[in-house]
Structure 1
């Protein structure tokens, strides 16, 4: 069966995450495509900062080795305190009776936990299974779960099966995290299937609030889902580079730091 480019590159990342280092020959045998095609893939993926080319193959960048861990429970525990502070700042932007959209990130889950402690009436639309479960018993919150394929080892709904539902809703605010954010490339992520759903989320929401750990700022992952000029607010846990902040402010993006 012919693989799409996005499927092939996701498979390369999965294999590298498992083995750390592979030759083009090994990748060719495992994925079933020519070595020439894989060399093109690897060169492009290196340009995107996903891996490092080696003689005859590639190895996973140390940074992406940790970033690519798709186990939601692992990601959820990382920087829990920082994510909680980001969630508190994010809450200030929410008003009674709004319809908000939360992606499947662990930071959005932290916001859901915070919402559960507040007496506020909301409709929450989400692509995160854990986020939906967190809010399901709250009598003040109507939870709408976007349908789609459940990601293995994660709590994410991905794919575009839920697009039709999104089109029927008025979304006041989207709260989204990302694997990277840069002025040149905007919000980017490594899961190319999840990115397609996130693009539609961005287009549907009236306001886009990025909730991102400061270590992801200046980083570019494999696929963009929101241009910088589509972001209204950036909430992060540490002060960011003053030059980057100046450019963002000049582009009418509100920058909020929890520190």
Structure 2
């Protein structure tokens, strides 16, 4: 296992258990204490965890500006976005969410024919200007931190849209609370899109699993497929599969 892959899995383990002893990590990952200390030091520098005597604890993230998050786990986001774009067929009408993962879909869509993209993401709309893709931008209030537009039925008649596939982002994914987000406005827009879409895909990296944030967008039953990176543990995949949730993992090798 490569160092970066091991560190990612260590972070996932710590996030799941919240507080973990270093000796537990050595046993779980079958490596020396010296190796674990190096990995922990790197995760501390990345401000992902905090260290205390004999152990570490997970630092719960808070929502940041989209420009800051664009560069986080970029390799995973691009791979997930490419997998999402491969599901899009010529002539379809799709929804692309305002998240940093779905934003990465745009370059992989440019060769599609007679495609319509509905979006609440200003960066997505700007990227597609000048292409052959028809763009419908949701009307509503501009959310400056996310460069997104949050809509409601008063400002935009969602029922007139016929969306074949919706690609939604998530800040949290769990069996118990489903898909969740930090923003109430974003959650409301996503709920409305999900309710009118024929198929719903959630595009999110593995760090978002088994965690819940402020606002529930929808139960996992409302989602057709969750697309994520292959760092997601087999135990988590099995747990979701047992609940009837389909997960597609993207090979990062």
> Normalized against structure 2, the TM-score is what?
0.72
Asked if 1:138 is matched to 2:131, the reply is: yes
* Cα distance in 1 for residues equivalent to 2:130 and 2:153: 26
For residues 182-212 of structure 1, what are the alpha-carbon distances to aligned partners after superposition, in whole Å with 9 as ceiling and x for unaligned? 0111100011121111110111111110101
Deviation at 1:169, TM superposition (A): 1.1
Which residue number corresponds to residue 180 of structure 1? 172
> Normalized against structure 1, the TM-score is what?
0.70
Which residue number corresponds to residue 254 of structure 1? 246
CA RMSD between the two structures: 1.8
Asked if 1:147 is matched to 2:139, the reply is: yes
Asked if 1:216 is matched to 2:213, the reply is: no
* Cα distance in 2 for residues equivalent to 1:99 and 1:124: 6
1:78 paired residue among 72, 76, 87: 72
* Cα distance in 2 for residues equivalent to 1:110 and 1:147: 22
Asked if 1:108 is matched to 2:102, the reply is: yes
Gaps of 5+ in 2: 1-57
**Equivalent residue runs for 1:1-259 within 5 Å:** 62-65=59-62, 68-69=63-64, 71-116=65-110, 118-139=111-132, 141-160=133-152, 164-259=156-251
Q: What SS class does the counterpart of residue 106 from structure 1 fall into?
A: coil
* Cα distance in 1 for residues equivalent to 2:146 and 2:217: 19
Q: Which structure is higher in helix share?
A: 1
Q: What SS class does the counterpart of residue 64 from structure 1 fall into?
A: coil
Q: Are the counterparts in 2 of residues 148 and 161 from structure 1 also a CA contact under 8 Å?
A: no
* Cα distance in 2 for residues equivalent to 1:241 and 1:112: 28
Shift of the 207–146 alpha-carbon distance from structure 1 to 2, 3 Å rule, reads same
